[in-house]
Amino acid sequence: MTSYEGLSLTWILPLSDLATSDLLHRCAIIRDQLSQAGLFPSLPGQASAPGVVTATTTWRIATTPFPLTKDQLEFFHQLGPQLLSFYRALNRLYTDSVRGLQPTWVAGYLDQGKPESLLTYSRMKRFRDQLPAVIRPDIIPTQDGMMITELDSVPGGIGMTACLSALYAEREAGGLSLVGGPEGMVRGFAAMLRSQLAQHTGCVAILISEEAKDYRPEMTWLAARLRAIGLDAYCVEPRQIRFTEEGLRITNEGMDQPIALIYRFYELFDLLNIPKSELVQYAIKKDRVAVTPPYKPALEEKLAFALLHHPALQPFWEQALGREVFLHLTTIMPRTWILDPAPIPPSATVPGLAIGGRAVMDWRDLATATQKERHFVIKPSGFSELAWGSRGVSVGHDMPQEEWAGAIDKALTAFPRIPYILQEFHKGRLYELNYFDPVTGEMNRMSGRARLSPYYFVSGEKTELAGILATICPADKKVIHGMKDAVMVPCAFAHGTNV
């Protein structure tokens, strides 16, 4: 159902036929079960289950899953293989650039700010063809279609989406079927891990750094679910890893067993702060343990979108992806530019960038753009504590001109150490939905914009869409991310809809 509010198209999410009291009861049960699983803070007077690591963040609980149309579901199923092709092409572009077979400035940008030791490690021949085995794009539904704001190969939310899927599947209503089903996230993640084990024997260690500690509760829950379906997996901290000449072992609370595979739940910029990280790298280098995602920082840079749109690289992308996939990705990945402070020759302009109809020849020209003209986002490309969790993001039209000019200067000044990117801002369309406020215990209504995060797990050449997490934030929030005012809920296919 649609309604028009000025020029804004608002999508009304379907409501259950259940009475408000029944919906409140259902949502309260979901909240309680999340709390028991350690993924939601305990309520006053409620004791946590023994041994459960409890989350500290809250959010609003939706009455029903987030519905997708048939066309939207088909879009997500087709997207997985396309993104795997993109990663494969990006990996080849970087490797060829290092070897001088493609422009060397490509590797120069992707290597910017990384220590030489990590670059040497990432370029080892035995790692050459390795790609991320988890692909999660962040996608904004707009009035004109879906737009991918970025790709994440070390994403949070896997355990959260898995748990939410199981809870909402128990209460499916209104002709909705969860994407991936109630066990899709757990089984898809398990299949991916099994495909990465290779010839190694031992358990799977989901290794989480202190920087990523907020995700420990969901990954601890996920490890328990993996063990329940027959995959020996544990969520551990670096201090619980022991190095031996034979390989790595988990030593914790009476446990002492070999590790076959490390699922890397830490960012590469944080290696110096992670205990025993050099021993872990040594074991990986000597093939005594497998790891995913691989230690390849070039594949974790947001500036890859700028490379996709660069006119000088178009022949490479068309050949590597095929023209149809190339055109599709350039449509759904917003135009992006690398904020390189190097002078632009008088005879040149920044490709495809104009302000008020004027071609841009100097990045500081952006500082004088009016509020309507600066529908752009500035954010660090990667390899920085500011490059995840919506940190370091500046939204041009949502800040005073003086602050916007300051954000441009900061980005240009940081370039030798941390490249920043400029990216088109695409406004999400509005949705109206009911939600349960876990703090007040009341049912409320919200107008908000959504971010859809599909999880693709890669096994060999196959990508599996295991689930989609929807994060809906109030309409006045310019950056959509998990927050106490957000609704987080799995997506479902709405039967019989195609609009």
Segment 123-180, tens digit of pLDDT: 999 999 999 999 999 999 999 999 999 999 899 999 999 999 999 987 665 567 999 9
Higher pLDDT, 336 or 442: 336
Count the Cβ atoms, other than its own, within 10 Å of residue 131.
17
CA distance 111 to 113: 6
Residue 439 — pLDDT band, cuts 50, 70, 90? confident
- Percentage of the chain beyond pLDDT 90 is 74
CA distance 378 to 337: 10
Domain, as residue range, for 358:
342-408
Q: How far is CA 358 from CA 350, 355, 376, in A?
A: 11, 5, 16
Residue 394: inside a domain: yes
Higher pLDDT, 26 or 138: 138
**Number of structural domains found in the chain:** 1
Per-residue confidence (pLDDT) for residue 42, from 0 to 100: 77
Residues 6+ apart with CB under 8 A from 125: none
CA distance 156 to 160: 8
CA distance 142 to 122: 37
Residue 445 — pLDDT band, cuts 50, 70, 90? very high
Residue 6 — pLDDT band, cuts 50, 70, 90? very low
Nearest CA to 446 out of 9, 45, 62 is that of 62
Residue 108: inside a domain: no
Residue 312: inside a domain: no
Residue 360: inside a domain: yes
Residue 390 scores a pLDDT above 80? no
Comparing 202-206, 229-233, 387-391, the range with the smallest average pLDDT is: 387-391
Residue 25: inside a domain: no
Residue 458: inside a domain: no
Is residue 8 within 8 Å of 430, Cβ to Cβ?
Answer: yes
Residue 236: inside a domain: no
Is residue 141 within 8 Å of 452, Cβ to Cβ?
Answer: yes
Residue type (1 letter), 122: S
Q: What is the CA radius of gyration of the chain?
A: 23
Contacts by residues 230-235 (CB-CB < 8 Å, ≥ 24 positions apart): 231/190, 231/193, 231/194, 231/204, 232/202, 232/203, 232/204, 232/257, 233/193, 233/203, 233/204, 233/205, 233/206, 234/203, 234/204, 234/205, 234/206, 235/206, 235/208
The average pLDDT across 47-51 equals 56
Tokens 């551990």 belong to 236
Q: 140: which 2 tokens?
A: 């904004």
Residue 438 scores a pLDDT above 80? no
Indicate the average pLDDT of the chain: 90
The average pLDDT across 270-291 equals 95
Residue 48 scores a pLDDT above 60? no
CA distance 300 to 383: 8
Is residue 133 within 8 Å of 192, Cβ to Cβ?
Answer: yes
The average pLDDT across 265-287 equals 94
Residue 190: inside a domain: no
Is residue 83 within 8 Å of 150, Cβ to Cβ?
Answer: no
Per-residue confidence (pLDDT) for residue 442, from 0 to 100: 86
CA distance 185 to 156: 13
Q: Provide the strand spans (E) within 77-192.
A: 134-142, 145-152, 176-178
Read off the pLDDT of residues 319-369 as tens digits, 9 standing for 90 and up: 999 999 999 999 999 999 999 999 999 999 999 999 988 999 999 999 999
Q: 494: which 2 tokens?
A: 């709405």
Q: Provide the strand spans (E) within 266-340.
A: 290-292, 336-338
Per-residue confidence (pLDDT) for residue 22, from 0 to 100: 82
Residue 78 — pLDDT band, cuts 50, 70, 90? very high
Angle between helices 184-196 and 216-228 (to 10 degrees): 80
Comparing 68-77, 78-87, 105-114, 166-175, the range with the smallest average pLDDT is: 166-175
